[in-house]
Structure 1
Amino acid sequence: MDSEADEITSLVGREVYSNNGVFVGEVEDVRLNLDTETVNGLALSELNPQLFSQSMTGEKGVIVPYRWVRAVGDVVLINDVVERYENPEADEEIAA
């Protein structure tokens, strides 16, 4: 179990990129399901302001579902779902 714990804590501080190479944020914490002893999300901070506005995320950041993770190495690669997220405020400003 100690080696698994080391692997989980080694995620903290890694940069997260979409599979298209766009910087998303940095892993601040890991969300665990203690019943199944699995990782079910990554808490990101230092978010890319072009992807997330502060009004969408608050001051805390976002949690990315772990099922979006494609690969973990020197960086974490996730699906490009984040890039396709629509900003409702931007749509309202354009319509006004």
Structure 2
Amino acid sequence: MEPESTAAPAEITALVGREVYTNNGVFVGEIEDLRLDLDAEEVTGLALGRTNDELFDEDVRAARGVIVPYRWVQSVGDVVIATDLLEHLDDAERDGSETEMAV
């Protein structure tokens, strides 16, 4: 028999409005919505708005925002810390592949 948890479960909607930073302290954007896999009952991505203009090209700035894969999230607290998105963007440019970030 598993012990019962005394902590209240966190609401995933509590993530909305939090700022996302890279692990190097660079502001990425603000969480506006979540992408969910309802079958697996898990968060698969963070939909960001108010993104950092210095990180993203003109096409992204003209769009509504970006979706960061949740697997890139390292920690969640008052702010959300994600792996260095610049590394992911640079890797995609070097090998000619499409970045995993969606617009």
Q: TM-score normalised to the size of structure 2?
A: 0.74
Which ranges of structure 1 fall in alignment gaps of 5 or more residues?
89-96
Q: TM-score normalised to the size of structure 1?
A: 0.79
Match of 2:86 among 79, 83, 87: 83
Give distance in 2, aligned partners of 1:15 and 1:78. Answer: 11
CA contact (8 A) 2:28 2:52 kept: yes
Which ranges of structure 2 fall in alignment gaps of 5 or more residues?
1-7, 94-103
Number of residue pairs aligned between Structure 1 and Structure 2: 84
| Aligned-residue CA RMSD (Å) | 1.9
The Cα of 1:57 is off from its aligned counterpart by 5.1
Deviations 1:44-88 (CA, angstroms, capped at 9, x unpaired): 0000000012313542110000000000000000000x2131497
Give distance in 1, aligned partners of 2:74 and 2:83. Answer: 7
Partner of 1:33: 37
Partner of 1:94: none
Question: Structure 1 vs Structure 2: percent identity of aligned residues?
Answer: 57
Moved over 6 A (4+): none
Give distance in 2, aligned partners of 1:56 and 1:43. Answer: 13
Alignment of 1:1-96 (within 5 A): 4=9, 7-56=11-60, 58-80=62-84, 82-84=85-87, 85-86=89-90
The Cα of 1:16 is off from its aligned counterpart by 0.2
